[in-house]
Amino acid sequence: MSRTPLHPTREQIELPMVLDCLSDPIRLTIVYQLAQQERVSSELCCGDFNGLAGKSNLAYHFAKLRECGVMQTRVAGTNRFMRLRREDLEARFPGLLDAVINSAAKDADRLQLLSGCDVVDAESN
Amino acid sequence: MSRTPLHPTREQIELPMVLDCLSDPIRLTIVYQLAQQERVSSELCCGDFNGLAGKSNLAYHFAKLRECGVMQTRVAGTNRFMRLRREDLEARFPGLLDAVINSAAKDADRLQLLSGCDVVDAESN
DNA sequence: CCTTATGTTCAACGTTTATTGAACTATTGC
DNA sequence: GCAATAGTTCAATAAACGTTGAACATAAGG
């Protein structure tokens, strides 16, 4: 396992890549859950998203989200903690992330954003 | 040529589809140009986008933009006039379209949004 | 009616994408 | 050291995507 995964600089973040990244239902769910979690701890680890898809499939989506500059990964022991790159995204594309997240929240049931994710269960306790 | 192409109702417009639609550079350019044109006439016809790609390729992208609910097509003679479905998009995803368009405007040169499009030339006269 | 202009539709193609399971790496705790 | 845990990487697969040119459809102008 390489120590710190590749992240693009703020200026390297491209609009089409971000939009494409967010257009996938699984990745949109991940981003949505990360946004919800910001009110609590701002970070989640990969395992919190088991239930959304298989581990290798999730790793694929995590890599995409990272490489597109949407989220950042921090390695801690055997865990990888992830958070949204809110400031960078806001600097590059003002209002975009919130518009997407709010739209996703509005359509939460339609998008099935809440299904199969440990995070929501934990939060509702 | 069928008289009126298919358009989804406002409620049928889905977030992932819209994001995916906007993630393609050619389609993003079309949307951006339509947005710019709103200050003038709010409508453009297919031919205004020759230069972006071949005709059949453009027809493919137009169809996607239409089927995803991003724009509306009106048939007039041999022409098809298109405009953004601003109100519908705003109702479904508040702030999203403007965030995307403003972000695209900020990155206009990086995205090469202005190249090969008749509209800009016409507008700069 | 014939031609021209505007776009669409279709089939073909090569590329990219999402998904899967198996193998692998790295860290923690006993 | 050994087993368990947490994730990644790889190869394979099927589906979706973008692009192309040729054929088609429709309307307008002479």
- What is the reported pLDDT for A5? 81
Cα A102 from Cα A96, distance rounded (Å): 10
Q: What is the pLDDT of residues A42-89, one digit of tens each?
A: 899 999 999 999 999 999 999 999 999 999 999 999 999 999 999 999
Compare B5 and B124 and report the one with higher pLDDT: B5
Distance from CA of A82 to the nearest CA of B (A): 22
Angle at B14 between CA B97 and CA B113, to 5 degrees: 35
- Residue B6: pLDDT band (50, 70, 90) is confident
Do residues A62 and A73 touch, judged by C-beta distance below 8 A? yes
- What is the reported pLDDT for B115? 56
B52 pLDDT more than 90: yes
Chain A's closest residue to B26, CA to CA, is A16
Q: Is the CB of A49 under 7 A from strand D?
A: no
- Residue B41: pLDDT band (50, 70, 90) is confident
Cα A111 from Cα A106, distance rounded (Å): 9
A15 touches chain B (CB under 8 A): yes
- Residue A120: pLDDT band (50, 70, 90) is very low
Residue A12 CB: number of other CB atoms within 10 A? 13
A116 pLDDT more than 70: no
Q: Is the CB of A57 under 7 A from strand C?
A: yes
B1 pLDDT more than 60: no
Through-space separation of residue A63 CA and nucleotide D10 C1' in angstroms: 15
Residue A76 CB: number of other CB atoms within 10 A? 9
| AA identity, residue A51 | G
A20 touches chain B (CB under 8 A): yes
The full set of domains in chain A, from first to last, is: 14-107 (1.10.10.10)
Average pLDDT, chain A: 89
Q: Is the CB of A45 under 7 A from strand D?
A: yes
Q: Which member of B23, B103, B110 has the closest CB to residue A23?
A: B23
- What is the reported pLDDT for B57? 97
Do residues A88 and A71 touch, judged by C-beta distance below 8 A? no
- What pTM, to 2 d.p., does this model score? 0.91
B67 pLDDT more than 50: yes
Q: Do B14 and A104 make contact, defined as CB atoms within 8 angstroms?
A: no
Nearest to B93 by CA among A30, A82, A106, A39: A106
Q: Do B99 and A103 make contact, defined as CB atoms within 8 angstroms?
A: no
**For residue B57, which nucleotide's C1' is closest to its Cα?**
D19
Through-space separation of residue B88 CA and nucleotide D27 C1' in angstroms: 31
A9 touches chain B (CB under 8 A): no
Compare A30 and A120 and report the one with higher pLDDT: A30
B117 pLDDT more than 70: no
